[in-house]
Amino acid sequence: MANNIPAQAIVQNLKDAGCDSKTIKQFFILEEEGKVQEQLKLLNFHRNQLLDRVHREEKRIDCLDYLVYQIRKGKSTI
């Protein structure tokens, strides 16, 4: 198992990170095959998806902040 981490702890960590059951299953298939680099690629792919989501949400927050700024400055065209 990955660095002697119990399987249950790995499953919980993957679930906490938002991985679906397909990703978790694939992670353990790669584990059984000894494909550590492929496991890392899988985790990195999921991480990048999460980061993309964060960036999309940050852009939405920026839009709201700009609207609040405009309203406070009395320049709203609403």
pLDDT, tens only, 12-37: 999 999 999 999 999 999 999 999 99
- Give the pLDDT confidence of 47-77 residue by residue, as tens digits: 999 999 999 999 999 999 999 999 999 865 6
Helix, strand, or coil (residue 74)? coil
Q: What is the pTM assigned to this prediction?
A: 0.79
pLDDT, residue 74, reads 87
Cβ atoms of residues 18 and 46 within 8 Å: yes
Rounded CA separation 76/50 (Å):
33
